[in-house]
Amino acid sequence: MQSFRLTPEKRVLFLTRDPELIRRQLKGELNLRMEDVKPDELLDDVNTDAMTPAWACFDWRPADIAVNAYAGLTPGGERLFPANALKDGNFEVIVSGQRKGTGSSRETAVQAEKWSGIRLAVAASFAPIHARNNINQGVLMGSYAMLARLQRGEEIALTEFAADEDAVTKAIILAGGLFPFGRLLAAGKVTLPKLATAERPMTMAEKVIARHLVAGQGGAFVKPGDAVLVKVDGGYSHEFTTAQVHAFLEEEFGADYSIADATNFAVFEDHLIYADGVPRMAPFAAKIAILRDMQRAFQRHTQVRDWSAVDGRSPGICHQVAREQFINPGAFIQATDSHTCMGGGNNALTYGVGATEYAALIQSGFTTIKVPESIRFELHGTLRPGVTAKDVILWILWKHASKGDTLDRVMEFGGPGLQQLDMDERATLANMATECTAKSGICDGDARTVEWIATRRGLDAAEVRKLLVRADAGARYEGGVHSIDLATLEPMVATPGDPAAGVPSDPTNGAFISSLGKVPIQIAYGGSCTAGKDTDLDFYAAVTREALDAGLRVAAGVEFFIQCGSKAVEERAADLGYTVLFERAGVKLIGAGCGACIGCGPGVSSSKEQVSISAINRNFQGRSGPGSLYLASPLSVAASAFTGHITAWKPGLFSNGSVLRVFS
């Protein structure tokens, strides 16, 4: 296929802000045209949880996943798309607003559309991982103007859909997807462009990419937009994604397929480790068992490193274990999860990809990328007591990501303020780069980086220091360089539905908890890859100890859950006496692993009336149960658990007489 034309008997679905208009289209009562809809009437931030909620991903076959396309779009708590609604509607184009596909990297979101008949996705902008998944799956992406032309009967050449792409991406689009492109490349039918970038100062991301160029592409310098082949140092998948990776490799390369280097890749059993204990997950137990079995089959076949559960206990969340165990400074890591970017706290370039892209790179050892633009955040000053890295990134989300400053860019973090943050706090900044719809996040490397990695792994510090990557003086940042005075920040909160949503009533300071008012809660959750690290446990413990000293326990009517990110974190917490401390206060402790963050563990709300405050990374509607979910720092989550309403911790909080009178 060299061009695209609308099929006469097929339809176009507009995802509008008005759910009733969507219902009428699904029922066949309404056929809209682009001139009938204004862009600001279209739904923004259609996230991958809405397209394929976690439970829909228990089906690993794309055709089965398509049955529940858009099952997570639930305005008013009701499912807008019944089973097979997208497929039965006979649509081949789907239209939405800004930032289509934000959230998790799950390729299932694209598969749900493709196997429902969608050939073209139209939006004002696309989240970077989702856009790549469309390209890899052979689903075209277009603009409103292109759709208007198509609806007038025009035929548009595929080269026009690829006009703004780099040469490699253009070749993938014209081939019809990543695997067809790979076959052409292997057959010598694709000629890759030679690098012609002259010597120039480079950002950290550019320097990592330049270090990993596959030989024969030209010079040693890159710039944004360059299309290159790069070697991958390693990666990993988990039981939510490995089944598809295994199946795709068998389909493409045969049952006896091989991979490039098993020692550099791994599998983790972490995401669904507690799903069996969530009542609403009970109907999916058999499907979850199949996913686990297929991951084990993949591991046996490939002999990749194995972090499977032992006696029902997970070694930890993949991102936390990876940064503890094998992500080095200057490394290039890709994995099948959007929070892979957490490894950027180790001064590495890491980000998530879909199952198709991961299958291709684990088989070959290299991948194709377009060198991304960068944006830099220079941190100055000192955080005040009660303010953490989570507050910093929530502020950046409200201030910069909501305006698109970070879209598809690598977020660099540096400056004297960063040097005051420990490695766990840096990991928090990098982890939530994906919430900013950024390509990734990466922190400057320094003596703290070297000491943390060398000590933890028994390595020679001098050898680790050689791996550090720093931006060159004069490096160009297309997103600008933004200075943040840490001393001006207060504890933050993101209101339900969007990690970038501050308090709407106060646009001057956005998301400060002090602007929120008194919001009673029923659930406080501390955990996930973002907030289950050593330092996070220190935060929870400090607040808990103060509360106990003031004669308090977890507030009546509130459940406070704490979950460690890895077995190592769990063991340290026990050694420091935190486990006993938490139990005395009425905290419910959960073993290492994922859980409430993806609706698959304790801490998930059970009714839409419940209100949660959580230290996880995203709060899309329905992701962690049907209730309302606010995002905040570990300190704020712990403080709220003892007061019974959303509260910013500050020194002396529990010596306040009113608090004691309420809970004594």
Place of tokens 């939405």: 96
Q: 558-601, pLDDT tens digit by residue? A: 999 999 999 999 999 999 999 999 999 999 999 999 888 877 78
Place of tokens 């929070």: 339
Do 240 and 501 contact (CB within 8 A), yes or no?
no
DSSP category for residue 120:
E
Q: 205-232, pLDDT tens digit by residue? A: 999 999 999 988 888 999 999 999 999 9
Rg from Cα positions in the chain: 24
Confidence label for 167 from pLDDT (cuts 50, 70 and 90): confident
Q: 516-528, pLDDT tens digit by residue? A: 889 999 999 999 9
pLDDT averaged over every residue in the chain: 92
Q: 602-648, pLDDT tens digit by residue? A: 888 889 899 999 999 888 777 888 899 999 999 999 999 999 999 99
Contacts by 186-193 with C-beta closer than 8 Å and gap 24+? 192/167, 192/168, 192/217, 192/227, 192/229, 193/167, 193/168, 193/227
Residue 506 pLDDT greater than 50, yes or no? no
Confidence label for 420 from pLDDT (cuts 50, 70 and 90): very high
Same domain for 565 and 632, yes or no, is yes
Same domain for 139 and 11, yes or no, is yes
Residue 658 pLDDT greater than 50, yes or no? no
User: Can you give the pLDDT at residue 403?
Assistant: 82
Same domain for 65 and 131, yes or no, is yes
Write out the DSSP string of 457-500. HT--HHHHHHH---PPTT---TT-EEEEEGGG---B-B-TT-TT
% of the chain exceeding 70 in pLDDT? 97
Same domain for 140 and 257, yes or no, is no
Do 520 and 644 contact (CB within 8 A), yes or no?
yes
Same domain for 171 and 242, yes or no, is no
User: Can you give the pLDDT at residue 511?
Assistant: 65
Amino acid identity, position 437: T
Q: What share of the chain is helix, strand, coil (3-state, %, to 5)?
A: 40, 15, 40
Same domain for 31 and 175, yes or no, is yes
Residue 495 pLDDT greater than 70, yes or no? yes
Rounded-to-integer distance, Cα 37 and Cα 22, Å: 12
Same domain for 234 and 103, yes or no, is no
User: Can you give the pLDDT at residue 656?
Assistant: 59
The 3-state DSSP class for residue 18 equals: coil
Indicate the number of domains in the chain: 3
Pick from 68, 101, 60, 102: which is nearest to 86 by CA?
A: 68
Whether 539 is covered by a domain: the verdict is yes
Predicted TM-score (pTM) of the model is: 0.89
Confidence label for 515 from pLDDT (cuts 50, 70 and 90): confident
DSSP category for residue 344:
G
Rounded-to-integer distance, Cα 569 and Cα 450, Å: 20
Whether 481 is covered by a domain: the verdict is no
How many other C-beta atoms lie within 10 A of the C-beta of residue 584?
A: 12
Average pLDDT over residues 27-36: 96
CATH number of domain containing 130: 3.20.19.10
Question: Where does a domain end: 150, 180, 210?
Answer: 180
Whether 190 is covered by a domain: the verdict is no
CATH number of domain containing 568: 3.30.499.10
The 3-state DSSP class for residue 102 equals: coil
Confidence label for 503 from pLDDT (cuts 50, 70 and 90): very low
Q: 549-563, pLDDT tens digit by residue? A: 999 999 999 999 999
Domain that holds residue 253: 230-370
Pick from 161, 87, 159, 88: which is nearest to 120 by CA?
A: 161
Residue 661 pLDDT greater than 60, yes or no? no
Confidence label for 335 from pLDDT (cuts 50, 70 and 90): very high
Whether 225 is covered by a domain: the verdict is no
User: Can you give the pLDDT at residue 486?
Assistant: 97
